[in-house]
A and B are shown apart, each in its own frame.
Chain A
């Protein structure tokens, strides 16, 4: 069985594997990490079976290693994601995503009367609940929760 899994998305020599992404949020993760604008080889699979998520997605990026603060940005859409750092086909480090204390950009404030939805302003939020990922807008002070969250 293990071999078949390898065939779904082929292994990389050096780089980062992001696993346990909810399948529906694959493209959000790609855009948050800017993987649609890089030169590195990127392979991904979606709607793979997962015991935990039902359907999951996986991304493999060759030759790219993320800083923690960058990878934590995906916590908004894929809080369960796990990272494997690969060197010479071996997993040398495993990382989990941590929800940061504050979020700049990425998400849109849910409040249509917020200044950030009416003028060119980079959004800013404090994370008031890390478990449920509930954000409080730095500007209008309104709450944006997971159900209402829209990724820019």
Chain B
């Protein structure tokens, strides 16, 4: 992984996922390891993302590295019309590693071609957000003790949700069984279903999850956004089917955990927060350890 950019979750093999997770575990036990020794990380956020940026910056700080960059494109020369190509060419002579979020899809792959230093994709539009996926994997392994042979429920917007697509690709390496729960308009795209078939993996599609919820090891919730529906009446009719409430968890498996990439709106009712099965806030916390692991392995420090 040394000196290699991380643009897409498919850039890493199963063994490499596991290496990152082991390393993240080590960082969780001992988060302050000043191994970066003044290495400079540029965090280029062409679109704001508080959680992701702070989590990266916290990771760098705990590793004893330095940070430069900007938190939104208004404070970069992109507002003067500078191309991404030029910005990256300039920044890679100031930093040892670039962490970039950009609204355009494919921007991170392009940056990794232009840059002389490795690039970590912190989200390129609706395309990829691989560090989120790795922290999802970390959260799943930590709560289940394994990544193998799990029942993964994905709920909500499965059509546009990049986090569910990347998680599907990653979990397909571990013989998962998938349960897709979504309204018709937001179903898992065919290309992913074809991929699962080609891997010989099982998946099931449902319109709501009340009858089957007790089979879940992991429930991965996503936001169902009103603007995704062509028919607003359809939205009003379906939205309540994808809201998770405390009473629905009554007979769920004891090992079951609820994940969510956050921010949530109303798809997980507040009464779920008190359940020991609610894991989404801890999941966000795990992001720092996982990013410490990714940064230190790309810089060749671990």
Name A's B-contacting residues (CB within 8 A): 109, 111, 113-116, 118-121, 137-143
- Contacts A/B (CB < 8 Å), 12 sampled: A109-B106, A113-B105, A114-B104, A114-B105, A115-B105, A115-B109, A118-B104, A139-B105, A140-B125, A141-B128, A142-B105, A142-B127
* B90 proximal to A (CB < 8 A): no
> In the complex, which residue of chain A has the Cβ closest to the Cβ of B107?
A115
Residues of A within 8 A of B109 (CB): 115, 138-140
* Complex-state Cα separation, A142 to B127, whole angstroms: 8
| B8 and A115 form a contact (CB under 8 A) | no
Interface string of B100-127 (1 = CB under 8 A from A): 0011111101100000000000001111
* Complex-state Cα separation, A94 to B208, whole angstroms: 58
* B30 proximal to A (CB < 8 A): no
* B50 proximal to A (CB < 8 A): no
**Total interface residues in chain B, CB < 8 Å:** 18
| A119 and B110 form a contact (CB under 8 A) | yes
| A141 and B106 form a contact (CB under 8 A) | yes
| A119 and B127 form a contact (CB under 8 A) | no
Which of B110, B126, B128, B191 makes the CB contact (< 8 A) with A115? B110
| A139 and B106 form a contact (CB under 8 A) | yes
Residues of B within 8 A of A138 (CB): 106, 109
* B83 proximal to A (CB < 8 A): yes
Residues of B within 8 A of A143 (CB): 191
Residues of B within 8 A of A119 (CB): 83-85, 110
| A113 and B126 form a contact (CB under 8 A) | yes
| A115 and B84 form a contact (CB under 8 A) | yes
| B157 CB to nearest chain A CB (Å) | 17
> In the complex, which residue of chain A has the Cβ closest to the Cβ of B125?
A113
Residues of A within 8 A of B125 (CB): 113, 140
Other than the given A113-B126, A115-B105, A116-B110, 17 more pairs (CB < 8 A) read: A109-B106, A111-B105, A113-B103, A113-B104, A115-B102, A115-B106, A115-B124, A119-B83, A121-B85, A121-B110, A137-B106, A139-B106, A140-B125, A140-B127, A141-B106, A141-B128, A143-B191
* Complex-state Cα separation, A28 to B125, whole angstroms: 32
* Complex-state Cα separation, A142 to B189, whole angstroms: 12
Name B's A-contacting residues (CB within 8 A): 8, 83-85, 102-107, 109-110, 124-128, 191
> In the complex, which residue of chain B has the Cβ closest to the Cβ of A136?
B191
| A141 and B110 form a contact (CB under 8 A) | no
* Complex-state Cα separation, A150 to B8, whole angstroms: 26
* Complex-state Cα separation, A119 to B103, whole angstroms: 13
| B80 CB to nearest chain A CB (Å) | 15
* Complex-state Cα separation, A115 to B8, whole angstroms: 15
Residues of B within 8 A of A142 (CB): 105, 127
Residues of A within 8 A of B8 (CB): 141
Residues of B within 8 A of A141 (CB): 8, 105-106, 127-128
Closest 4 CB pairs of A and B: A139-B106, A140-B105, A140-B106, A115-B106
Residues of B within 8 A of A120 (CB): 83, 85
> In the complex, which residue of chain B has the Cβ closest to the Cβ of A134?
B191
Residues of A within 8 A of B126 (CB): 113
| A119 CB to nearest chain B CB (Å) | 6
| B9 CB to nearest chain A CB (Å) | 11
Residues of A within 8 A of B85 (CB): 119-121
* Complex-state Cα separation, A115 to B105, whole angstroms: 6
Q: Pick the most buried of A111, A113, A143: most chain B CB atoms within 10 A of its CB.
A: A113
Q: Pick the most buried of B102, B103, B127: most chain A CB atoms within 10 A of its CB.
A: B127
> In the complex, which residue of chain B has the Cβ closest to the Cβ of A128?
B191
Residues of B within 8 A of A115 (CB): 84, 102, 104-107, 109-110, 124
| B25 CB to nearest chain A CB (Å) | 30
Residues of B within 8 A of A121 (CB): 85, 110
Q: Pick the most buried of B83, B102, B107, B124: most chain A CB atoms within 10 A of its CB.
A: B107
Residues of A within 8 A of B84 (CB): 115, 119
* Complex-state Cα separation, A111 to B83, whole angstroms: 19
| A150 CB to nearest chain B CB (Å) | 17
* Complex-state Cα separation, A79 to B83, whole angstroms: 36
| B10 CB to nearest chain A CB (Å) | 9
* Complex-state Cα separation, A150 to B106, whole angstroms: 19
Residues of B within 8 A of A116 (CB): 106, 110
